[in-house]
Structures are given as structure tokens and as C-alpha cells.
């Protein structure tokens, strides 16, 4: 039996009554398989003995005798203290908070096996986090040596967890291998059953690493098989395609007031080559904020339209989708392109005729939010799907796109450079075009840091820019005061900046709780120059493009993530005007932990040090750690329990090679060789189910 086929509920185990099961559910554990896959968060190495006097070198691990009981505190706070003595005569106190029952189980005169961290406190050696077992056999059945430390939840203790897992191992642990034997041998991996045993009942610390390696490899291999299969199925979708006629694209290029950059041209050439090829395109276009990706997408759309098809462009926010629609109206409508805009906010009366027009092929390019791919939207001949700021969408949403139209070409755009290793996981079958150079004439943005309290100077600087006809953004972490923290909020600052600071200029307010049409009007007024400044939350973070904006002021900058700060800064520096970014940070004063965290400081410093998006992404990776990134949107909410595509980069590449070799060699044979591959062939993968559950 394969591990994932174990559907028996944990309640089948001895000791797992209804209340224990409820607590296990909080940890996401329902079945025997879930329990066996519960990764210990740490291990205690109990193979090294350590006396009480050696407490400074690590956890104490020795035999002791109970010499006395003692109580302190009153009433419900009354607490037991158990005095123990080791073989050298060192005495120490076990402070039993909330464990009065230890009076019985650790009686005076008994001998104990003791494990725990000790400290000098109130001039006595004591510990309140200790494990003590009567010497006649270990209490939870786990052998001495290395013990797993599990993630816990309220009411579920370590020793109960250990007992439950030991029970699960005994009952279900002898599972079949899923990685094909040939691969397992080549990579020197433990068998699955052995890996589970080593994970939960290791005899040495080294064994736990072997266990993790085998389980991580299996996940990565699984993932790579899925990706390889997706790529293979795309390649099997042969279609006759002629090179798209260039007429429309030439017309657009002639109308542009500037030259395309060399990288933009190269990206467009890549796209045209894909579109003329026998398989649907799956391309990722990466380029730093402001590098001109939108235009590349419009060229792609023109090629699709020129060959008689339709194109759809999806943006993560309504604001951004509106902006793209406006730009398209300006650039493409004069070429005769028929445009439409669609979001969840388009009222039924307008929506119905729009859908009909799309289905009849009377719309060439539709721009919108994810509403573009809701169930009732039909296309006559959808040839191209563009996803802007694709890192904002989950894997599932991206996959849903492929279902519309007959094998449309897809172009994903991102300003967040994807580390190579992640590209191999979530985006394994994409080809990549990169825009490295900025349009001609751009000046590097000048970034200033200012401490909270000095913002008046910043406001004065911005005043000079506004007076010269330039525009500015002010960004705050919160919408209004109802947010509990003692931070500046957008609404109050909008009042203050309009009334007290810049009475001579007009400003606007934008945050997520305002109605879409208000937001749109405000953005349009700002773009047209009727408003000089915008006060906002991070809703302006992605994509917004107003070339005359030269100042970005972010207050409480320490509150924002590095990627968000980089995106925010990217809202300026979009023309040949010199632009500025002011990061106002605070390091405390406020209650509620509004202190500048170490990480916050590092982020702000990193922003000062570089404007290069790739460097920022790498620093982000260092600050946040790879684990966090894999868990989030970058990997598209793939949940991996053991593998970390960044840390396990080598393993990932091995898995990729193995999966490709196996599927390439003989697709028929693969089906029989290994359980993973068989499972992939037979049913939906567990990844998509988990992703769906996460939403
Ligand atoms: P991003 O890559 O961040 O999506 P945009 O597509 O919003 O960037 O482009 C940023 C700005 O640069 C827009 O105002 C766009 O019109 C302008 N732009 C794009 N390509 C060029 C170019 N080759 N030369 C000058 N300006 C350009
Ligand atoms: Mg963009």
C-alpha cells in the first residue's frame, strides 16, 4: 500500500479518543497517513549524557534521585517543586507549573531519567521545561537516543504525540515505495518505510537527515513528474500555425513616440516564434518594474489579433486592469482593435451584451480581472492569454486559464524575479524572456531614508516637486484608525496633508475600502494632473503607471516587505524626469510592538543600497528565508511538507532530470514502475487538492 492510500482515521489508534482527535485535527492530522507525514520540528539528542553541573553546555541528560518535595505560592497558583540530586551530589529544582500531579508520579526516594534545560534562578539551579521518567522503563516507549519533537497544539503534549506516532508507525509504517527503484538506487535514497521509521524513531541524528532527504526527494520528484507531464501534454497539442501577420504590430511601432528597447524587441521576437510554432506558447516575461512589459504584451496581442484570433489580458487588481484598458484604448483603438473591459464590478446590464460580443468574436482584446475566466465567459477564438503580475495569482487560477479557448498561447508577466530553483518547481515548463535594460533616458531613482519625526523635511522637498508640476504618492500601512496599532493611517494623513501641509495643492485618497469607480476617478484625475498627490495604502503597489509622478513617500516603511517596497518605488522613475523615493521609518515609541524590527531595518537599508530588482529579490530571500517564500505566492501556494526548493536546490535538479529521463524513455513503462507515477496517471494529484483547500 502507498502511504497516501492509508485512509484509516487516526481514531483507529489506541489512545486517540474524540478529544485527542479534535486536537490532532487542529494540526491538520486526520488519517494515519497525515500522522506519519507530520514532520518533527526538531530532535532531542539524548544519546549524550550531561550532568546537572554541566547545564551550561546543553540540556541536562542524566539519572537523578528525588530528594524532597516543596510547594510555593498560594491557592490556584500553588506550585510543586521537586528537588533532585545527581550522582555527583549536585542539587536542582524541577518547577512543576500546572503539573501538581507530578507529586504522585515523582515520589521522594524514586530514581528518574531526567532531560531538560537548566538555569540559575533565585540562586538555585532550576528548570520548568523538563522531561522526567521513572527509571523502570521509559514512560512513552521511545528509546533513548534521538527523539522527535513534534509541533503541538493546546492540550496535546509531546509524550502523547510520541505515543500516537509510534502507534501509527507500528500499524501503518510498512508502506510501499513510490519512487521507482532504479531512481532510488541511483540517488542513494532510503526506502519509504525506512525513511518514515528514521524520521520518527531515529537512532542517530544523521539518520534523520537521510529520512528528510528521501521524503523531500519524493515530493520534488512527484512535482517534477507532474510538470513534465503537463509540458508533454502541451507538446502533444500539435496545431498548424502560420507566422502571424506583422501588419498591426508595425503600425503600433510607428505610432510610438519612442523606440522599443533591444530587450523588448527580443521578447517580442521570442513570442512571435512561439506563436508560429506547433505547440501553444507558455512563456514567462520577467523584467524589473518600469521596464515596459505592458507594451510587449500589447504587441503579443496584436499578433494574435492579426492572425484572426482574440486576446485576453488579466491583471490582479481592478485598478491595474482599468489602467491597462485605458492604455490599450489610447494605443490600440486607433489601429482598429475592438476593446472590452470586464471585471466583477461590471453590472449585469453591461455584462450580458459584452459576453455575447466576446462569444461572437466582435471583441478582439478584452482586459480585466480574474472575472475574464469565470464560468459564463465564452470566447469565439481565444488565441492569447496574458497574465500581468502573475506572482499575484495562485497556481490553480493560472491553470484554469488553459481551459478556455482551444490551446491558447499564454504569456505570464512578472516584476518579481523568480529564483532559478523556484522557476524549476512551479514554473517548470515555462520558457523565459527577460527585459534587463530600462527604456532610454531613465535616471536611477534617488532613495532617501528619513527617521520618523523628520518627515517635515521630506514634505518640504516634495513641495518643490509639486510646485514644478510633478506628482507624488504618499503611502501608509493602514486605512484608518480602526486598525489598532499606533501607526499613521491613510485617511488621517490625507486630511493632514491636504489641509495643513499642502493647502495649495489638490490631493486624492485611494484605499481598498473605497468603491472601484471612486478609485478609478481619483487615479484618472491624478494621471491627468488634476490632482497633485495621492495618499494611499499599498493598493498602488502593483503596476500603476503615471510617468509624471516623481516622488514616492512611504511612511512606516519598516512595516512593508521588501518586494512591496520595491514595487512601490517602481511607481516613480517612469520617465526621463529625476525621481525620488523617501522611506520614513520609525523604531518605536509606539506600544504594540511598532518597534523597528531588525528585519525592518535590513529591508529599509537594502532599499537604500540598490535599485536592482534581482538584487532585492535575493536579499529578500536571505532575510525571509527560503521556507517562507515557498509557502507563499511565489511558488503559487504549492505546499511541500519536507522539500524546500531553495534549500534543496540540488535535489530538485536531480528530481527534474530523473522525471524527464523516465518520462522521455518510455511513457508506457513508467506507469508500471513507480507508485508516484502511477498515482499521477490515475488520479488528480494531492497537490492540487491541498492547494484548493488553501484557496
Ligand atoms: P512594467 O514593466 O513595470 O509593467 P510598464 O509597462 O508599466 O512597465 O512601462 C513603464 C512606462 O515606460 C510606461 O509609461 C511605458 O509607456 C513606458 N515605456 C515602455 N517602453 C518604453 C520604451 N521603449 N521607451 C520609453 N518608454 C517606454
Ligand atoms: Mg506592469
User: Is residue 295 lining ligand 1, measured as CB closer than 6 Å?
Assistant: yes
Alpha carbon of 132 to ligand 2 centroid (Å): 60
Q: Output the pLDDT for position 580.
A: 97
Q: Residue 441: is its pLDDT beyond 50?
A: yes
Mean pLDDT within 270-296: 91
Going by CA atoms, what residue is nearest to atom 9 of ligand 1? Answer: 292
CA–centroid distance for 271 within its chain: 28
Q: Where are the alpha helices (DSSP H) in 241-394?
A: 247-255, 262-276, 293-306, 318-331, 348-360
Q: Output the pLDDT for position 403.
A: 54
Q: Output the pLDDT for position 512.
A: 83
Mean pLDDT within 492-515: 93
Alpha carbon of 230 to ligand 1 centroid (Å): 33
**Which of 260, 289, 291, 292 gets mutated to test ligand 1 (max ligand atoms within 8 A of its CB)?**
292
User: Is residue 674 lining ligand 1, measured as CB closer than 6 Å?
Assistant: no
Query: By percentage, how much of the chain surpasses pLDDT 70?
Result: 84
Q: Are 357 and 287 in contact (CB under 8 A)?
A: no
Q: Nearest to residue 636, comparing CAs of 566, 564, 690, 561?
A: 690
Mean residue pLDDT across the chain: 83
For every residue of 31-57, DSSP letters joined together read BHHHHHT---SEEEE-SS-B-GGGGGG
Helix (H) or strand (E) holding 486, with range, is none
pLDDT in tens, 520-538: 899 999 999 999 999 998 8
**SS3 call for 17:** coil
Alpha carbon of 252 to ligand 1 centroid (Å): 14
**Which of 255, 262, 290 gets mutated to test ligand 1 (max ligand atoms within 8 A of its CB)?**
290
**Which of 295, 314, 436, 567 gets mutated to test ligand 1 (max ligand atoms within 8 A of its CB)?**
295
Give CA angle at 637 (636, 639), nearest 5°.
130
Q: Which three cell numbers stand for residue 57?
A: 553546555
Ligand nearest to the CA of 391: 2
b/e per residue 575-592 (b: at least 16 CB within 10 A): bebebbbbbbbbeeeeee
Give CA angle at 217 (214, 218), nearest 5°.
85
pLDDT band at 693 (very low <50, low <70, confident <90, very high): very low
Alpha carbon of 403 to ligand 2 centroid (Å): 25
Q: Are 537 and 478 in contact (CB under 8 A)?
A: yes
Alpha carbon of 630 to ligand 1 centroid (Å): 30
Ligand nearest to the CA of 264: 1
Q: How far is CA 333 from CA 228, 327, 546, 623, in A?
A: 40, 10, 20, 45
Helix (H) or strand (E) holding 368, with range, is strand 365-368
**Residue 295 CB contacts under 8 Å (≥ 6 apart), including other chains:** 256, 260, 264
User: Is residue 212 lining ligand 1, measured as CB closer than 6 Å?
Assistant: no
Q: Which atom of ligand 1 is nearest to the CA of 259?
A: 23
Q: Which atom of ligand 1 is nearest to the CA of 545?
A: 7
Q: From CA 612, how far away is CA 614, in angstroms rounded?
A: 6
Helix (H) or strand (E) holding 618, with range, is helix 613-624
**Residue 423 CB contacts under 8 Å (≥ 6 apart), including other chains:** 284, 430, 432
Alpha carbon of 431 to ligand 1 centroid (Å): 22
Ligand nearest to the CA of 389: 2
Q: From CA 677, how far away is CA 682, in angstroms rounded?
A: 9
pLDDT in tens, 325-360: 999 999 999 999 999 999 988 888 999 999 999 999
Q: From CA 691, how far away is CA 695, in angstroms rounded?
A: 6
Alpha carbon of 288 to ligand 2 centroid (Å): 9
Which of the 8 DSSP states describes residue 73?
S
Going by CA atoms, what residue is nearest to atom 17 of ligand 1? Answer: 292
Q: Are 584 and 455 in contact (CB under 8 A)?
A: yes
pLDDT band at 386 (very low <50, low <70, confident <90, very high): very high
Q: From CA 478, how far away is CA 406, in angstroms rounded?
A: 44
Give CA angle at 489 (488, 490), nearest 5°.
130
User: Is residue 415 lining ligand 1, measured as CB closer than 6 Å?
Assistant: yes
**Residue 347 CB contacts under 8 Å (≥ 6 apart), including other chains:** none
Q: Output the pLDDT for position 457.
A: 94
Mean pLDDT within 179-202: 93
Q: Residue 672: is its pLDDT beyond 70?
A: no
User: Is residue 573 lining ligand 1, measured as CB closer than 6 Å?
Assistant: no
Going by CA atoms, what residue is nearest to atom 5 of ligand 1? Answer: 292
The pairing of strands 119-121 and 146-149 is: unpaired
Q: Residue 689: is its pLDDT beyond 60?
A: no
User: Is residue 390 lining ligand 1, measured as CB closer than 6 Å?
Assistant: no
Helix (H) or strand (E) holding 293, with range, is helix 293-306
User: Is residue 293 lining ligand 1, measured as CB closer than 6 Å?
Assistant: yes
**Partners of residue 70 on adjacent β-strands:** 81
Q: Which residue has the higher pLDDT, 588 or 300?
A: 300
Q: Which long-range contacts (CB under 8 A, 24 or more apart) does 339-343 make?
A: 339/363, 339/364, 339/365, 339/366, 339/367, 340/365, 340/366, 340/367, 341/366, 341/367, 341/368, 342/366, 342/367, 342/368, 342/369, 342/371, 342/372, 342/377, 343/318, 343/368, 343/369, 343/371, 343/516
Q: Output the pLDDT for position 686.
A: 35
Going by CA atoms, what residue is nearest to atom 23 of ligand 1? Answer: 260
* Cell 528528510, located at residue: 212
pLDDT band at 634 (very low <50, low <70, confident <90, very high): very low
Other beta carbons within 10 angstroms of residue 153's beta carbon come to: 14
Q: Residue 299: is its pLDDT beyond 90?
A: yes
Q: Nearest to residue 511, comparing CAs of 499, 519, 502?
A: 519
Q: Worst-scoring range by mean pLDDT, 118-132, 187-201, 330-344? A: 118-132
pLDDT in tens, 223-277: 777 777 767 767 777 777 788 999 999 999 999 999 999 999 999 999 999 999 8
pLDDT band at 627 (very low <50, low <70, confident <90, very high): very low
**SS3 call for 178:** coil
Q: Identify the structural domains of the chain with CATH numbers, from first to last.
A: 3-39+161-202 (1.10.150), 48-143 (2.40.50.140), 247-278+292-414 (3.40.50.300), 446-610 (3.40.50.300)
Going by CA atoms, what residue is nearest to atom 20 of ligand 1? Answer: 292
Q: Which three cell numbers stand for residue 263?
A: 530587450
**SS3 call for 485:** coil
What pTM, to 2 d.p., does this model score? 0.68
Query: By percentage, how much of the chain surpasses pLDDT 90?
Result: 48
Mean pLDDT within 645-670: 73
User: Is residue 439 lining ligand 1, measured as CB closer than 6 Å?
Assistant: yes
Q: Which three cell numbers stand for residue 363?
A: 471583441
Q: Are 126 and 92 in contact (CB under 8 A)?
A: yes
Q: Are 457 and 448 in contact (CB under 8 A)?
A: no
Going by CA atoms, what residue is nearest to atom 24 of ligand 1? Answer: 439
pLDDT in tens, 463-492: 999 999 999 999 998 876 765 566 678 899
Other beta carbons within 10 angstroms of residue 315's beta carbon come to: 28
Helix (H) or strand (E) holding 387, with range, is strand 382-387
**SS3 call for 289:** coil
Q: Are 414 and 407 in contact (CB under 8 A)?
A: no
Highest mean pLDDT among 149-163, 357-371, 621-635, 646-660: 357-371
Q: Output the pLDDT for position 420.
A: 59
The pairing of strands 282-287 and 409-414 is: parallel
User: Is residue 470 lining ligand 1, measured as CB closer than 6 Å?
Assistant: no
**Polymer length of the chain:** 695
Q: Output the pLDDT for position 674.
A: 41
> CB within 5 A of ion ligand 2: which residues?
543
Mean pLDDT within 388-413: 67
Ligand nearest to the CA of 253: 1
User: Is residue 547 lining ligand 1, measured as CB closer than 6 Å?
Assistant: yes
Q: Which atom of ligand 1 is nearest to the CA of 261?
A: 23
Q: Are 114 and 132 in contact (CB under 8 A)?
A: yes
Q: Where are the alpha helices (DSSP H) in 119-191?
A: 158-172, 181-187
**Which of 262, 291, 294, 299 gets mutated to test ligand 1 (max ligand atoms within 8 A of its CB)?**
294
Ligand nearest to the CA of 297: 1
Going by CA atoms, what residue is nearest to atom 10 of ligand 1? Answer: 290
Ligand nearest to the CA of 316: 2
Q: Are 585 and 608 in contact (CB under 8 A)?
A: no
Q: From CA 499, how far away is CA 515, in angstroms rounded?
A: 23
Amino acid at each position: 500500500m502507498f502511504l497516501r492510500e492509508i485512509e484509516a482515521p487516526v481514531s483507529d489508534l489506541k489512545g486517540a479518543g474524540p478529544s485527542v482527535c479534535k486536537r490532532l485535527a487542529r494540526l491538520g492530522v486526520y488519517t494515519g497517513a497525515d500522522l506519519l507525514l507530520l514532520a518533527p520540528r526538531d530532535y532531542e539528542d539524548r544519546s549524550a549524557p550531561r550532568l546537572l553541573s554541566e547545564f551550561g553546555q546543553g540540556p541536562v541528560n542524566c539519572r537523578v534521585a528525588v530528594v524532597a518535595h516543596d510547594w510555593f505560592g498560594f491557592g490556584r497558583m500553588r506550585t510543586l517543586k521537586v528537588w533532585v540530586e545527581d550522582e555527583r551530589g549536585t542539587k536542582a529544582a524541577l518547577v512543576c507549573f500546572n503539573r501538581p500531579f507530578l507529586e504522585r508520579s515523582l515520589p521522594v526516594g524514586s530514581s528518574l531519567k531526567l532531560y531538560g534545560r537548566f538555569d540559575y534562578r533565585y540562586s538555585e539551579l532550576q528548570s520548568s521545561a523538563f522531561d522526567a521518567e521513572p527509571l523502570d522503563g521509559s514512560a512513552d516507549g521511545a528509546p533513548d537516543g534521538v527523539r522527535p519533537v513534534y509541533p503541538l497544539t493546546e492540550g496535546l503534549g509531546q509524550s502523547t504525540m510520541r505515543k500516537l506516532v509510534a502507534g501509527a508507525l507500528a500499524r501503518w509504517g510498512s508502506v510501499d515505495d513510490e519512487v521507482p527503484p532504479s531512481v532510488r538506487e541511483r540517488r542513494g535514497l532510503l526506502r519509504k518505510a525506512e525513511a518514515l521509521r528514521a524520521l520518527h524513531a531515529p537512532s542517530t541524528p544523521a539518520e534523520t537527515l537521510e529520512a528528510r532527504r528521501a521524503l523531500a526527494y519524493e515530493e520534488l520528484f512527484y512535482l517534477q513528474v507532474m510538470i513534465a507531464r503537463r509540458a508533454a501534454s502541451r507538446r502533444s497539442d500539435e496545431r498548424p500555425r502560420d507566422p502571424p501577420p506583422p501588419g498591426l504590430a508595425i503600425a503600433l511601432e510607428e505610432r510610438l513616440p519612442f523606440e522599443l528597447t533591444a530587450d523588448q524587441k527580443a521578447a517580442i521576437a521570442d513570442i512571435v516564434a512561439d506563436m508560429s510554432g506547433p505547440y501553444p506558447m507558455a512563456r514567462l516575461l520577467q523584467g524589473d518594474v518600469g521596464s515596459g512589459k505592458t507594451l510587449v504584451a500589447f504587441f503579443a496581442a496584436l499578433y494574435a489579433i492579426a492572425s484572426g484570433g482574440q486576446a485576453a489580458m488579466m491583471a490582479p487588481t481592478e485598478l491595474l486592469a482599468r489602467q491597462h484598458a485605458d492604455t490599450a484604448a489610447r494605443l490600440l483603438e486607433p489601429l482598429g482593435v475592438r476593446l472590452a473591459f470586464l471585471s466583477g464590478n461590471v453590472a449585469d446590464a453591461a455584462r450580458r451584451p459584452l459576453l455575447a460580443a466576446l462569444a461572437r468574436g466582435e471583441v478582439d482584446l478584452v482586459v480585466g480581472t480574474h472575472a475574464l475566466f469565470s464560468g459564463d465567459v465564452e470566447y469565439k477564438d481565444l488565441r492569447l492569454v496574458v497574465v500581468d503580475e502573475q506572482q499575484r495569482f495562485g497556481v490553480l487560477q493560472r491553470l484554469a486559464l488553459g481551459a478556455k479557448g482551444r490551446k491558447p498561447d499564454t504569456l505570464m508577466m512578472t516584476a518579481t524575479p523568480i529564483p532559478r530553483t523556484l522557476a524549476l518547481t512551479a514554473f517548470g515548463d515555462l520558457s523565459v524572456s527577460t527585459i534587463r535594460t530600462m527604456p532610454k533616458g531613465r535616471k536611477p531613482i534617488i532613495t532617501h531614508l528619513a527617521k520618523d519625526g523628520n518627515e517635515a523635511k521630506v514634505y518640504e522637498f516634495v513641495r518643490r516637486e509639486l510646485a514644478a508640476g510633478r506628482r507624488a504618492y504618499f503611502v501608509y500601512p493602514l486605512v484608518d484608525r480602526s486598525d489598532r496599532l499606533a501607526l499613521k493611517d491613510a485617511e488621517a494623513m490625507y486630511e493632514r496633508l491636504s489641509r495643513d501641509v499642502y493647502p495649495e495643492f489638490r490631493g486624492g485618497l485611494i484605499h481598498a475600502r473605497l468603491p472601484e469607480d471612486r478609485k478609478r476617478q481619483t487615479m484618472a484625475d491624478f494621471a491627468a494632473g488634476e490632482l497633485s498627490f495621492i495618499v494611499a495604502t499599498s493598493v498602488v503597489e502593483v503596476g500603476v503607471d503615471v510617468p509624471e509622478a516623481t516622488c514616492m513617500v512611504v511612511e512606516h516603511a519598516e512595516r512593508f516587505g521588501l518586494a512591496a517596497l520595491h514595487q512601490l518605488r517602481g511607481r516613480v522613475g517612469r520617465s526621463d524626469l529625476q525621481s525620488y523615493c523617501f522611506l520614513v521609518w520609525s523604531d518605536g515609541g509606539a506600544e504594540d510592538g511598532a518597534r523597528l524590527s531588525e528585519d525592518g531595518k535590513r529591508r529599509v537599508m537594502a532599499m537604500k543600497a540598490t535599485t536592482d530588482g534581482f538584487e532585492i529579490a535575493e536579499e529578500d530571500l536571505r532575510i525571509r528565508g527560503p521556507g517562507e517564500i515557498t509557502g507563499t505566492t511565489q511558488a503559487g501556494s504549492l505546499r511541500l511538507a519536507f522539500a524546500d526548493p531553495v534549500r534543496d536546490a540540488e535535489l530538485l535538479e536531480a528530481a527534474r532530470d530523473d522525471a524527464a529521463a523516465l518520462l522521455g524513455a518510455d511513457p508506457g513503462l513508467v506507469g508500471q514502475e513507480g507508485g508516484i507515477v502511477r498515482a499521477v496517471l490515475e488520479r488528480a494529484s494531492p497537490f492540487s487538492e491541498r492547494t484548493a483547500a488553501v484557496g
